[in-house]
Amino acid sequence: MHLNGASILLIFVLLAIAVMLFLLHRTKLGDIIHTRIPDRPRRRLFYASVSFFVTFLGVRLLVAAITHHIGPFGWVEVGGRHIHHLVPGIFLLLAVGYAWLAEAGSGSSPTSIFVSRLLAILYGVGAALTLDEFALWLNLANDYWSPQGRESIDAVILFGAALAAGAWGAPLFRAIRRKES
């Protein structure tokens, strides 16, 4: 059975989100995160950072499998046109941005908190899908595995570092400052 790329990408994203939500809410790891990381904005930044790196790794592995004809994977095509994964990434970023503008997930009810965390995860997924093909939108050429494709890796590293610094930076620097005093 040959699954098309859109199905594989959708299954991967949904599975990754479900696993993250399960691990972050129903396990000892989730309990540790909830007691050690303040809810807003640090925990949302943490969720976005983790989903960003997991999605980036998963997409890179998926593209490598497609390129090397490993497994039942294929490109996302609609009407014979190849759809790069930055397209669903942009749509995700637009949807999350709109939801945040509409203040979805800004309340304190359990449903609102869940929506807030889900939006943070979706933001990380969308950012990874989009920045993984940064070289494509910068050069308007399919440079994924070429030396110019390194620009995508650089963009991912810089943005991922910014997300991680947002989640860990302030508490880490405060702890270091307290130790030095």
Domain span at 73: 5-180
Single-letter amino acid code for the residue at 77:
E
**Nearest CA among 126, 8, 24 for reference residue 71:** 8
Angle between helices 110-131 and 5-25 (to 10 degrees): 140
CA–CA distance, 48 with 117 (Å, rounded to integer): 9
Number of domains present in the structure of the chain:
1
Q: Quick one: tokens of 25? A: 């809410």
The beta strand positions in the chain, using DSSP E, are 77-78, 81-82
CA–CA distance, 32 with 173 (Å, rounded to integer): 20
**Looking at residue 140, what is its pLDDT?**
56
Q: How buried is 172 (Cβ within 10 angstroms: 0-12 exposed, 13-18 middle, 19+ buried)?
A: exposed
* CA angle at 22 for the pair 20 and 27, rounded to the nearest 5°: 110
Q: Quick one: tokens of 77? A: 């095509």
The DSSP letter of residue 149 is G
* Beta-ladder partners of 78: 81
The DSSP letter of residue 42 is I
**Looking at residue 84, what is its pLDDT?**
79
**141-164 burial by CB neighbour count: b if 16+ within 10 A, else e?**
eebbeeeebebbeebbeebbeebb
Per-residue pLDDT of the chain (181 residues), as tens digits, is 455 656 776 777 788 778 877 777 777 877 777 777 777 777 888 888 888 888 888 888 888 888 888 877 777 777 877 777 888 899 999 999 999 999 998 888 888 888 888 999 999 999 999 888 876 666 655 666 666 666 667 777 777 777 777 776 666 566 656 666 6
**Looking at residue 93, what is its pLDDT?**
92
CA–CA distance, 157 with 4 (Å, rounded to integer): 29
